[in-house]
């Protein structure tokens, strides 16, 4: 089992998957840890989130400021639509 740590992906899904292919990442035995800023700036934040979510227990996330900002926006939108 290998543990790979990445940071500042910023929604660059294709670059992330290319990197994982290059290191022969195997979600069945390896672990991927994102140390912040998984989303924002790049063109494919949603795809990046879905991909990492689908890794299940093979993925851990430490939230960065961009991730926290997205969560705050989602929470704010939900609170606004509550009434």
Write the pLDDT tens digit of every residue in 20-51.
999 999 999 999 999 999 999 999 999 999 99
pLDDT more than 90, % of the chain: 86
Which residues sit opposite 33 in a β-bridge? 5, 60
Backbone angles phi, psi at 26, to 5 degrees: -125, 105
Concerning whether 10 is annotated as a catalytic residue, the answer is: no
* Position 83 confidence tier, pLDDT thresholds 50, 70, 90: low
Q: Output Rg (C-alpha) for the chain, integer angstroms.
A: 14
Banded pLDDT at 82 (limits 50, 70, 90): low
Q: Which of 10, 12, 27, 66 is catalytic?
A: 66
pLDDT confidence of residue 78? 72
pTM of this prediction?
0.85
Q: Are 10 and 39 in contact (CB under 8 A)?
A: yes
The mean pLDDT of the chain is 94
């Amino acid at each position: 089992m290998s543990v790979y740590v990445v940071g500042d992906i910023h929604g660059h899904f294709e670059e992330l998957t290319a990197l994982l292919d290059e290191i022969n990442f195997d979600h069945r035995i390896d672990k991927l840890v994102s140390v912040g800023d998984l989303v924002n700036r790049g063109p494919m934040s949603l795809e990046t989130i879905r991909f990492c979510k689908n890794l299940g227990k093979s993925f851990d996330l430490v939230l960065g400021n961009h991730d926290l900002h997205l969560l705050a926006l989602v929470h704010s939108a939900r609170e606004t639509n509550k009434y």
